[in-house]
Structure 1
Amino acid sequence: MPNTESAARAKPLVLDVDGTLLRTDLLFESFWAGLAKDPIGVIRATAAHLGDRARLKQELAQIADLRLDLMPVNAAVLEAAESAKAEGREVILASASDQDQVAQLAEHYGLSERYYASDGQTNLKGQAKAAALTRDFGPRGFDYAGNAAVDMQVWEHADTALVVGKVAVATTLPEGGHEVIRLPGGWTARKLLKALRPHQWVKNVLLLLPLIASHRFDLETLIPILLGIVAFSGAASSIYIINDLLDLEADRLHPTKNRRPFASGDVPIPVGMLAFVGLLALSLGIAAALNWGFFGVIVLYTLTSLAYSLKLKRMRWVDITTLASLYTIRVVAGAAAGQVDVSIFMLIFIFPVFIALGCVKRLTELTLAQGDERLPGRGYGRADRGDLLNVAGIGVFGALVIFFLYSVSDQGRVLYPDTWLMWLAMIPMAWWLIRMVMLGWYGKQDYDPIVFALKDKLGLGILMIILSLMFWAAGLWGHWFGG
């Protein structure tokens, strides 16, 4: 009489890849990695083969050349695979992903040399996968791990069903006599919110600068600017998503960024893509409702940010100039939203400030880097720290000179009659700027200097001193409090 337990153990364990063994999808991984490497090639391949998934996967896999060893893995599924191997069972990958990628994964994790995958002609998904497995192992001749409703077509032909995450249709499997093993998987809205980087929204207080500089402290000006901040926050978050999707490999090589939701697999890439579309639509809708000038600024910011994510951030010095421009655009956006005239002196002043802070951002990254090689996805290495410090110093000096020239200009004298107080404000201003540069040099601040500045208590105190002196020079304290 046959040993049924031995027969059960002899059954191979078949693993789906996307969303099952891996906490990501190789088609979308290939698309975004390819877009960062060869955007024209990816767009052409997608347009030509969008209706032919097998061919599209093959084309994108050749363009992307993924680091499959860096892909986030479902620990519970990998543990089940290791347990099956320890029992002497064959562990086989069966995936709709391209065959070259699946073969590499099988080799990397020490799984069976036999695998099932899309080959450029057949998209091995659903019924096609079920037919291939049933042909080779027979009905109920294998156990299968999957994570999606389409896997139901395979589970129906398997013996034991390993269900990753919450799959509603899988609740009917016990009725068909299948043993069901539940494994953790899926994503949460909280993780998606983290991907939007809400802590970065504080940078959009820069939209208030034109209101403060022009002394337009009225609700008619403030409310549109606050709506503009909401629109800019949506646009910025949409770009953060795109930036993270283009930077998946670089983030996985980073000591802290490897925990970001898309890099770690906590949030599926398609969810991020839908969130991008929704946030951008919300942002443009608010912008159009405010005025077309602000709408144009939002479009300019979005296009510049996309160019930065796709190419410019990998170009030495160009990336810092672009970062400074993106910060400056926020100030222009505040003026457009509130329909406030922005001084050319203000724009000329803040640009070198943001150049200095852009250098601080790179200095911080290089100081905290664990090796001397170039930063992943960037054009800088440890050897560039001295040059970055010099450029930051030039930015600080240039900002102070421009501030002085503004204080003695006709416009400056009208808005700030007590010029000597403007000169006095330059002392804490220089202190704040130099302190920010040195904190970056020693790696003692956040990777984003603007976010750090808005959480830094001493720095905020210095900024309040500067602002108070400028209000005093403008005569606002006396106007407000009757002094």
Structure 2
Amino acid sequence: MTVSDDMTVTEPRLREHSLKAPGLRAKDLVLLVRPRQWPKNLVAVPLSLAGGAYWNWHTLSRMAWAVALFTLAASIVYVINDVADRERDRLHPVKRARPIASGRVSVPVAITWAVLLTTALGALTVLGPWRLAWPVAGYLVLNLLYSHLLKHIALVDVFVVAAGFALRVILGSLAGGIPLSVWLVLAVYAASVMISLGKRRQELGLGPAADRHRPTLEGYSRPFVDQMVMVTAVVAVLAYSGFLRSDAAQPFGQVALLLTMPFVLYGLFRYLQILITEGGGGDPTETLLRDRRVVTSALLCIGCLAFTSVLAGHPGLVGGLPSR
């Protein structure tokens, strides 16, 4: 079936299912919440741990609670977005295979699934320090606005997506009792804008079908996106440097900056190489978690941050190394 053929598919002609339907129903419901995207929460929420020696069981348990909250919240958003976008998704060469767009999951079943996920989110929230969970509430409200309005405004769409990752870092800091670093939030926000722009860049290469799937692409062009990607990349690196030189990264932020910056720059340049030279970046999670060079640079960077956290707890190990 071609894209033009797919445009003739209407809702009544699609196969409808119920919650009692046999076969792939459970699998389709799992696919609907996109478990392949869950690693984003495992990466973004605990980023606040990079600020110092906060690795203890209390902090880690709170961090696990925060990760679970955002995983459920993101799952709800995925279901709502797929319901709202089912007609446009049928015009996309890849997204047309999603459970709702393909008709394997009906709209009533998807709505019921979203209600169950929302109930689970509410139950999990009250099991922890629920007063600190306001970033999750903000994320849900922001994405409801995104699904019905903001996604149709060029540039605003990528800024809203990036705000979701900033909220993840904020919740990680609040839940773990870690001082919130504005520099870290800015670094994550700028990097998220850069990656979202990279996705738009890749979508621009899909031709007219992409414009029908995402009308906001009319507000983008390859040269414009390339310039914005470079600007946000610079902001992300400068903000990361500011974070490691701030009070949040005491007492060995300068050591961490010296050790990690080569890996940060390499990972960033490798992503830009994938995006601009190799034409990738359509699925940021796939790109960042599957590319061995990006993963290796990230692991080495994490190792260096963990090492400086150990130094923070044992100052006598470093002798005359520079510190704050």
TM-score past 0.5 threshold: yes
Deviation at 1:427, TM superposition (A): 2.5
Between stretches 349-358 and 423-432, larger displacement belongs to: 423-432
Task: Decide whether aligned partners of structure 1 residues 397 and 246 sit closer, same or farther in structure 2, where only a CA change above 3 A counts.
Answer: same
Letter in 1 for 2:55: F
Indicate whether 1:336 and 2:171 are aligned: no
Q: Is the 8 A contact 1:211 1:222 kept in 2?
A: no
* Corresponding residue for residue 350 of structure 1: 188
Q: Is the 8 A contact 1:204 1:229 kept in 2?
A: yes
Question: What are the Cα deviations for residues 326-377 of structure 1, in whole angstroms up to 9, with x where unaligned?
Answer: 111111121222232221221122221111111112122223x144862523
Task: Decide whether aligned partners of structure 1 residues 313 and 74 sit closer, same or farther in structure 2, where only a CA change above 3 A counts.
Answer: closer
Letter in 1 for 2:305: M
* Corresponding residue for residue 137 of structure 1: none
Indicate whether 1:306 and 2:245 are aligned: no
Task: Decide whether aligned partners of structure 1 residues 403 and 364 sit closer, same or farther in structure 2, where only a CA change above 3 A counts.
Answer: same
Task: Decide whether aligned partners of structure 1 residues 190 and 250 sit closer, same or farther in structure 2, where only a CA change above 3 A counts.
Answer: same
Name which structure has the greater RCO, CA cutoff 8 Å, separation 6+: 2
* Corresponding residue for residue 416 of structure 1: 252
Question: What are the Cα deviations for residues 92-148 of structure 1, in whole angstroms up to 9, with x where unaligned?
Answer: xxxxxxxxxxxxxxxxxxxxxxxxxxxxxxxxxxxxxxxxxxxxxxxxxxxxxx999
* Corresponding residue for residue 70 of structure 2: 232
Letter in 1 for 2:233: V
Between stretches 195-204 and 382-391, larger displacement belongs to: 382-391
Indicate whether 1:438 and 2:273 are aligned: yes
SS in 1 for 2:213: coil
- Give runs of aligned pairs for residues 325-474 of structure 1, distance below 5 A: 325-367=163-205, 369-371=206-208, 374=211, 376-381=213-218, 384-412=221-249, 414-416=250-252, 419-442=254-277, 444-445=279-280, 447-474=282-309
Letter in 2 for 1:285: A
SS in 2 for 1:70: coil
**Percent identity between the aligned chains?**
24
* Corresponding residue for residue 123 of structure 1: none
Q: Is the 8 A contact 2:33 2:79 kept in 1?
A: yes
Task: Decide whether aligned partners of structure 1 residues 451 and 68 sit closer, same or farther in structure 2, where only a CA change above 3 A counts.
Answer: closer
Number of residue equivalences: 310
SS in 1 for 2:54: coil
Deviation at 1:226, TM superposition (A): 0.9
Question: What are the Cα deviations for residues 3-46 of structure 1, in whole angstroms up to 9, with x where unaligned?
Answer: xxxxxxxxxxxxxxxxxxxxxxxxxxxxxxxxxxxxxxxxxxxx
Q: Is the 8 A contact 1:396 1:434 kept in 2?
A: no
Runs of 5+ consecutive residues of structure 2 not aligned to the other structure? 1-5, 319-324
SS in 1 for 2:55: coil
TM-score (norm 1): 0.58
Task: Decide whether aligned partners of structure 1 residues 404 and 231 sit closer, same or farther in structure 2, where only a CA change above 3 A counts.
Answer: closer
* Corresponding residue for residue 27 of structure 2: 190
TM-score (norm 2): 0.84
Q: Is the 8 A contact 1:396 1:430 kept in 2?
A: no
Equivalent-residue separation in structure 2 for 1:209 and 1:408 (angstroms): 16
Structure whose residues are more often helix by fraction: 2
Letter in 2 for 1:69: T
Equivalent-residue separation in structure 2 for 1:200 and 1:437 (angstroms): 21
Deviation at 1:197, TM superposition (A): 0.7
Equivalent-residue separation in structure 2 for 1:209 and 1:421 (angstroms): 14
- Give runs of aligned pairs for residues 220-299 of structure 1, distance below 5 A: 220-299=58-137
Equivalent-residue separation in structure 2 for 1:68 and 1:363 (angstroms): 24
Task: Decide whether aligned partners of structure 1 residues 323 and 404 sit closer, same or farther in structure 2, where only a CA change above 3 A counts.
Answer: same
Question: What are the Cα deviations for residues 173-222 of structure 1, in whole angstroms up to 9, with x where unaligned?
Answer: xxxxxxxxxxxx98611111111111111111111111232331111111
Equivalent-residue separation in structure 2 for 1:373 and 1:301 (angstroms): 26
SS in 1 for 2:240: helix
Equivalent-residue separation in structure 1 for 2:60 and 2:161 (angstroms): 26
Equivalent-residue separation in structure 2 for 1:347 and 1:261 (angstroms): 34
* Corresponding residue for residue 317 of structure 1: 155
Deviation at 1:411, TM superposition (A): 4.4
Letter in 2 for 1:70: V
* Corresponding residue for residue 71 of structure 1: 10
Structure whose residues are more often strand by fraction: 1
Q: Is the 8 A contact 2:270 2:293 kept in 1?
A: no
* Corresponding residue for residue 132 of structure 1: none
Runs of 5+ consecutive residues of structure 1 not aligned to the other structure? 1-66, 78-145, 149-164, 167-184
Larger-gyration structure (1/2): 1
